[in-house]
Amino acid sequence: MIKITIEDIEVEIIKKDIKNLHLYVLPPEGKVRVSAPKRLREEEIRTFISNKISWIKKQQLKLTNKPRQPRNEYVAGETIYLWGVEYYLVVYYIKGISKIEINGSELKLYVKKESSVRQREKVILQWYRKELKNAISPLLYKWQSIIGVETNSWNVKNMRTRWGTCNVKARRIWLSLQLAKKKPICLEYVIAHELVHLLEKNHNSTFYAYLDKFLPNWRTIKSELNA
């Protein structure tokens, strides 16, 4: 990875075995990253970025003005989401093994009184992981059948800048742990999106034509996912 600066904007450049340039403005701070084909010279990449400066600044301004969700400390009264449903956190102190229960609109977190924020977060994330993995298996089977492809493996990772990734060569997909907070249809969209990469590696007209074929309302779902 190399870093360059254009008009006071620092850009990370990562060379990959890809065909096209890809430009990202990443939340929450608006970090700029470019994935570039190995064959391209730095001068060509600089020209590409320079032509996109106004768009980059516009995206960074959007992120600056976007209200940020405060970081959870996992204390009573906070809001926790599961599958797009809002729950109010209630904390109970116990001496045994930590656990989570849902009762109506309440999410009950049972932890030791001396537990730290990090330890409480770990309990929540482990719970998310279990919920997500249980949901993925049947949906993956469904969409592999619809699209006509199969993965060699899949797993869950706590990614905060991507909803999913696909290693086409290894036929392996990763799904973000954060999807457990979103509506189930959002998980379906991400699974379908990553599986379509097994038919077309790049985000091009062929790729989006496949998405239109298999999931015609994907744009609406994507908009809701990124809201």
Residue 113: what residue type?
Answer: K
The model's pTM:
0.71
Which of 26-40, 69-83, 89-103, 178-192 is the most confident on average?
Answer: 178-192
The whole-number average pLDDT for the span 213-227 is 92
The whole-number average pLDDT for the span 175-203 is 95
pLDDT (0 to 100) of residue 66: 65
Asked if the model's pLDDT at residue 219 lies above 90, the reply is yes
Query: Phi and psi for 20 in degrees, rounded to 5?
Result: -125, 160
pLDDT tier for residue 173 given thresholds of 50, 70 and 90: very high
Q: Are 191 and 175 in contact (CB under 8 A)?
A: yes
Fold of 129-225: Zincin-like (3.30.2010)
Q: Are 77 and 59 in contact (CB under 8 A)?
A: no
pLDDT (0 to 100) of residue 67: 61
Q: Are 34 and 12 in contact (CB under 8 A)?
A: yes
Distance CA(7)–CA(9), nearest Å, equals 5
Task: Express each pLDDT in 21-76 by its tens digit.
Answer: 889 888 777 889 998 998 999 999 999 999 999 999 988 888 777 665 667 788 88
Domain boundaries, the chain: 2-65, 129-225
Distance CA(167)–CA(173), nearest Å, equals 6
